[in-house]
Structure 1
Amino acid sequence: MIQKKIAIIGIVGLPAKYGGFETLAEYLTKHLTNSFDVTVYCSSVFYSKKLKRYNNANLKYIPLNANGVQSILYDIISIFNALFYADVLLILGVSGCIVLPFIKLISNKLIIVNIDGLEWKRAKWGRAAKMFLKYSEKIAVTYADSVVADNKVIQEYVKYFYNINSELIAYGANHTKKEALSSNVVSQYPFLAKKYAFKVCRIEPENNIYLILHSFSEHPSLNIVVIGNWNNSNYGKEMKLKFNNFENIYLLDPIYDQNLLNQIRSNCYVYVHGHSAGGTNPSLVEAMYLELPIITYGVNYNVETTANKAKYFANKNELLKILSNINQEELNVVAKDMKNVANKIYTWEAVSAHYANLFLQNSK
């Protein structure tokens, strides 16, 4: 039987080392390459070692940055290249979708777009970039054969503003594993021997880094450990300079060793999630699957992801109040609720099966 050819477009690449879309591609290739012929587009700027195959998928490299302004051309080149062989184009993100009206004129290839979490709303973009991304979103939703939303709030947004039904497919989290802290890790990071809150994210304004660190700077009785790309932006450098000297605040650079990351996450007293933009956030569902008690910024995406069973804050005072009043019994209940929700919804088997059905249903 001839396998359908699938092109995955719009990520930095594989192996996954960057963000949620990369993790999605990682596990789609793990679960679907026995049933489909998969090619993943990667940025040669990001990978010094260029693999030809990974997880039984083909890798193709584009000599452009997959992020920032170059991402538009990066995605467009990937789209045109995929037209020569692929049956289905899975486009993750909307920046390159500006060309879809032309693509639909010259090709009948099936196009599926995961529109991400309303990228145009992110605080890091200027006015011109937001206008472009909003227009690209409109084009993507209008011209794609299928639209994927990773959160019910995003799905409702697509229906309300575009009158288009989208597929609701979130992210898996069952690749994470609860780990005990080893003596080697504690010796490397001695502050882990004490009770600590934890957060992992990109260091961007919409992730409420300042709000969270400011709160903990006024709550010295509890340590917080934050892992992120502090040196990749002026904002990150500013936050690190401002808060790195507080005795209860520990700011670590990105950790790509999954075992080490799981050890640090698994043993935190509470997981603090500050994302205010986007849909279903992978780091949040991973924390849920690890059965961590979660305190999260109360934007509707996060409330939906956690089934309204976490602890929520909207500002510094609310976060401080939660930190001051919460007890272990409450945390245990929240942690159990998070695990139950994750087990029902956020598994890669379910996510991959949904994408597989979408590829087959849309194939001509």
Structure 2
Amino acid sequence: MKVAIIGTVGVPANYGGFETLVEQLVRHNQSEDLQYAVYCSKKSYSDERWVYHGAKTEYVGLNANGIQSIPYDILSLMKAAKKSDVVLILGVSGCAFLPVFRLFSKKRLVINIDGLEHRRDKWNKWARRFLKYSERQAIRYGDVIVTDNKGITDYVKNEYGKDSELIAYGGDHVLQDISAQEAAGILNKYGLTAGDYSLAICRIEPENNVHTILEAFSRMPDKNILFIGNWDKSAYGKEIRERYSAFPNIKIQSAVYDLRDLNALRSNCQFYLHGHSAGGTNPSLVEAMFFAKPIIAFDCIYNRESTENKANYFSSADELVKIINNTTLDFKGNASSMQEIADRRYRWETIARQYEKLYHY
């Protein structure tokens, strides 16, 4: 069976939740009967390769993100229609083309609709309308709809009257076997002491409550935080960095992709803070859960579902301050629950098998 995967930058994965998903699906394919073909952006890879961990790679000469993402997905779909038995579509931006696609192809479509993109604050009115239209076409023409969080599963059922398959993201790829000496060296590089800092990692966007978290720590000079993100990508990020970088207990760090560095930083933090308020199950949250550290997450249905209501939750800077300073809370129970949930729900081996079941007619 030939399965095309479209809608991502491609493989090898350099960043992004969908890119990591594709990487892990390919790496965990153990079936001789299943052949993946991953559609990749020629703009993102200087060295083209024809095979990656057993998967074929097909290159499209457009950017996978930004304004070109729509024609990128459409061209990928047109190529995949000729070469595949099943098309796995990640995201809805190219799904506006599906009414036309269905005129000339009856290939099985498995579509992960992502995290309700049309509700995100970063899009203007017209972009939101387009994304909502694309989502509607995905639901109408997809043979199987995949959701990554029960909150989105319920949304699809209530909004469209359609059932979907709930498959989350994995996170165990971040686990690295590093020595205490190496970890200490990594912490020293970032100016940190084990157990004496909180950690937050995210894209720097308003919906991720970056300002809320940093405002809380600006009121707690005895509590340290390392906040990792893409601060230069937006006016919001630059303004927030300028506002809070003067506080000695707040360390503002640009994006970190080295898994060994991330392993040491996650393994030795006191708390992991997760401010995402939209988007279903977030990969960075799932990854953090494997490290058995207390997680304090923004209070929304997606985060509560991902953590099974066993983390601590905040909805304002005041609440976050109170939680961190409350010595009576069962943070050890929080930490052990996060690891247990991650082991049970968020391992890539399980998730790869769940996707593979969807390809069969």
TM-score (norm 2): 0.95
CA-to-partner distance for each residue in 1:241-271, whole Å, 9 max, x for gaps? 2222211111211122111111111111000
1:125 pairs with 2:126? no
CA-to-partner distance for each residue in 1:112-147, whole Å, 9 max, x for gaps? 100001011111111110111011111101110100
2:37 to 12, 36, 39: 39
| Contact 2:187 2:264 survives alignment (8 Å) | no
Report runs of 4+ in structure 1 exceeding 6 Å deviation. none
SS of 1:102's equivalent in the other structure is helix
Identical aligned residues as a percent:
48
How far residue 272 of structure 1 moved from its aligned partner, in angstroms, is 0.2
Residue equivalent to 1:341:
341
Residue equivalent to 2:71:
73
Distance 1:192 1:334 in 2: 22
Distance 1:66 1:235 in 2: 24
1:14 pairs with 2:11? yes
Residue equivalent to 1:324:
325
Residue equivalent to 1:249:
250
1:96 to 82, 94, 97: 94
| Contact 1:12 1:18 survives alignment (8 Å) | no
Gaps of 5+ in 1: none
| Contact 2:168 2:346 survives alignment (8 Å) | yes
Equivalent position amino acid for 1:21 in 2: F
Residue equivalent to 1:24:
21
| Contact 2:11 2:40 survives alignment (8 Å) | yes
| Contact 1:176 1:290 survives alignment (8 Å) | no
CA-to-partner distance for each residue in 1:19-65, whole Å, 9 max, x for gaps? 11111111000112644111111222222333332222122222222
Distance 2:24 2:323 in 1: 35
How far residue 342 of structure 1 moved from its aligned partner, in angstroms, is 1.2
Distance 1:151 1:288 in 2: 16
SS of 2:173's equivalent in the other structure is coil
| Contact 2:187 2:265 survives alignment (8 Å) | no
SS of 2:172's equivalent in the other structure is coil
Q: Which stretch of structure 1 is more off in the superposition, 225-234 or 165-174?
A: 225-234
Q: Within 5 Å, which residues of 2 pair with 1:184-199?
A: 184-193=185-194, 195-199=196-200
Equivalent position amino acid for 1:342 in 2: A
Residue equivalent to 1:351:
351
| Contact 1:217 1:249 survives alignment (8 Å) | yes
Residue equivalent to 2:56:
58
Residue equivalent to 1:227:
228
| Contact 1:9 1:78 survives alignment (8 Å) | yes
Q: Which stretch of structure 1 is more off in the superposition, 32-41 or 96-105?
A: 32-41
Residue equivalent to 2:155:
157
How far residue 301 of structure 1 moved from its aligned partner, in angstroms, is 0.5
RMSD: 1.5
CA-to-partner distance for each residue in 1:71-110, whole Å, 9 max, x for gaps? 1111111111111101111000000000111111211111
Distance 2:166 2:183 in 1: 39
How far residue 194 of structure 1 moved from its aligned partner, in angstroms, is 6.2
Equivalent position amino acid for 2:65 in 1: N
CA-to-partner distance for each residue in 1:1-35, whole Å, 9 max, x for gaps? xxx11111111221112211111111000112644
Q: Within 5 Å, which residues of 2 pair with 1:205-216?
A: 205-216=206-217
| Contact 1:43 1:61 survives alignment (8 Å) | yes
TM-score (norm 1): 0.94
SS of 1:79's equivalent in the other structure is helix
How far residue 310 of structure 1 moved from its aligned partner, in angstroms, is 0.3
Distance 1:71 1:166 in 2: 25
Residue equivalent to 1:261:
262
Q: Which stretch of structure 1 is more off in the superposition, 31-40 or 12-21?
A: 31-40
